[in-house]
Amino acid sequence: MRGDDYQYAWAWLRACDALNDPGVESISVEDAGSGQFDDVVTRRRDERADRYDQVKSSNSGDVSIDEDWLTTSATRKGSSPLQHFYRTWKTLRGQSRPFELRLITNRGFDATHQLLGKSRDNYSSRIRIDDVAKATPRTDLGEARDRWSTHLGIDTQELLDFLAVVRWEQAGSEERLREDAKPRMQLAGLRDDDEAVNTGVAIMRELVKTGDGPRGVDELREAVAAKNLLASTAQLVLAVDAIDRPSSPELAHVRLDWVDRFPGDDVRLRYRVEDDTAWTVEFPADLRRARSVLEAYQTQRVFVTGASRLSTHFAIGHELPDVRRWVLAIQQRSEVWTTDAELAANVVVKSSSPRATSRGDELAVVVALSNPVEDLIAPVRRCITDHDLPVGKILVLAPESTPGPDAVASNGWLIAWVRQARDRIRRAAGSATRIHLFMSAPAVAALMLGHQWNTLPAPTTLYDFDRRNYFPTYRLP
């Protein structure tokens, strides 16, 4: 069983790498369609090569990988390991995906052998193909090359093509593999204690017993969550690609992709959706499903990334509210801001109440952090008129300083301002039947305001600004 444990420890190490690599599509242990290199198979969704690992281990140091082992079959009518490796390469060569084969072992390689010793590069774990190609038949290297060609029944060029994609990799002990897994587990937001490593290795062993085949990265995340491997201080990632798909996406535990709902080739001009029901039906349903997935993990810390307008940031914060103990984080310029930062002192919310255009019982709230109040009132009034909104009162909230790029002084300042603003809105909306929210603010402010919104007494309609006009988006209960 120790040899199998070594394989499963290696598989867990590769699974941890997959949890940290957005390019990985699936991990498979003892993959049925991978020939001899089937112990651990990593398939990718990007242009990088799929990886097929064959794991060979020994309990003591007197066993090595040498030519005798490679060219000797286990049974009289069977094939040798080298023949199995070659046939696997030949089969995979017919597929469209790039691939590499790796022999992973805790055994030593025969240092006296011309191919496995002198010609094996310890940096890349590859045999130096150029040296092998240049060797004449009468040299020791040429003789070793020709013996392998004869054993496989192929010519020299075919052998070189085969060896070019094989790595002969000497890995560490099983104990070393388990220790190497720990920083990867920590990076993936998992517990990194010995018991957690044992559990991860057991998950890999279970994949073989159940014969489930390739497991996607999302399935791996579900498996580690089911085994309580997620660290209580871990941070999940929610990516909402609304108007654009970032060129280098964060590894996300949940990813929502709405880009196709927004017409236009220029991301700067993607404001409105083709079908307005997306705001009230599809997008809220997706956010609820995202919350359900995140709730399966033990942690409630979530890093929000992607590309979205203000109302979507607000809706994300509203779906993951402070009252449910979610802690959100988002990158603001070059810093990460969180909803649990320490409040700054002496923060003042400046408010005003311009004259409303009707005598209705609904409240319009204008958040003016990024642009001057006088620049916002006209488009807000125009929106109220164009949509015949029964707004009887307008409440404008601004910083004590001039609105603009430097108005939001710090993470702690913003949290204090948002909480004061929420309290002002709550008092103003005491008898209102609906709140209409118009924002001119950084995305982090919209996220944090939504995060604090659940204590408001009336349902809310959100609005985005398309450079000319405000238009309605989400309708929150």
Q: In the predicted model, is pLDDT for residue 56 greater than 70? A: yes
Range name among 108-122, 292-306, 314-328 with the lowest pLDDT average: 292-306
**pLDDT value for 157:** 97
In a shared domain, residues 327 and 382: no
**pLDDT value for 4:** 79
In a shared domain, residues 54 and 124: yes
Percentage of residues of the chain with pLDDT beyond 90: 74
Structure tokens at 327: 């802690």
How does residue 247 score in pLDDT terms, banded at 50, 70 and 90?
low
**pLDDT value for 1:** 42
In a shared domain, residues 144 and 7: yes
Q: In the predicted model, is pLDDT for residue 314 greater than 60? A: yes
Last residue of a domain, one of 287, 309, 338: 338
Domain, as residue range, for 115: 3-227
Q: Read off the CATH number of the domain in which 394 is found.
A: 3.40.50
In a shared domain, residues 287 and 374: no
**pLDDT value for 248:** 52
Q: In the predicted model, is pLDDT for residue 453 greater than 90? A: yes
How large is the average pLDDT for residues 222-242?
Answer: 87
Contacts of 272 (CB under 8 A, 6+ apart): 262, 263, 466, 471
CA distances from 463 to 127, 314, 474 (A): 62, 10, 7
Distance of CA 193 to the CA centre of its chain: 23
Q: In the predicted model, is pLDDT for residue 2 greater than 60? A: no
In a shared domain, residues 307 and 385: no
Do 24 and 249 touch, CB atoms closer than 8 A? no
What are the E-state strand segments in 120-274?
Answer: 166-170, 215-216, 235-241, 254-257
The answer to whether residue 344 sits within a structural domain is: no
- pLDDT tens per residue across span 173-186: 999 999 999 988 88
- pLDDT tens per residue across span 109-134: 999 999 999 999 999 999 999 999 99
Q: C-alpha angle with apex 12: 6 to 16, nearest 5 degrees? A: 150
How large is the average pLDDT for residues 413-432?
Answer: 95
Q: How far apart are CA 101 and CA 117, in angstroms?
A: 19
Structure tokens at 235: 């941070």
What phi, psi does 230 have (nearest 5°)? -70, 130
Do 366 and 324 touch, CB atoms closer than 8 A? no
List the one residue out of 300, 364, 337 whose CA is nearest residue 446.
337
Do 447 and 457 touch, CB atoms closer than 8 A? no
**pLDDT value for 232:** 73
How does residue 250 score in pLDDT terms, banded at 50, 70 and 90?
low
Do 439 and 309 touch, CB atoms closer than 8 A? no
In a shared domain, residues 330 and 382: no
Do 210 and 203 touch, CB atoms closer than 8 A? no
Number of domains in the chain: 3
Q: In the predicted model, is pLDDT for residue 276 greater than 60? A: yes
How large is the average pLDDT for residues 256-261?
Answer: 95
For the residues of 373-396, what is the DSSP string, one character each? HHHHHHHHHHHHHHTT--EEEEEE
**pLDDT value for 121:** 95
List the one residue out of 88, 116, 114 whose CA is nearest residue 101.
88
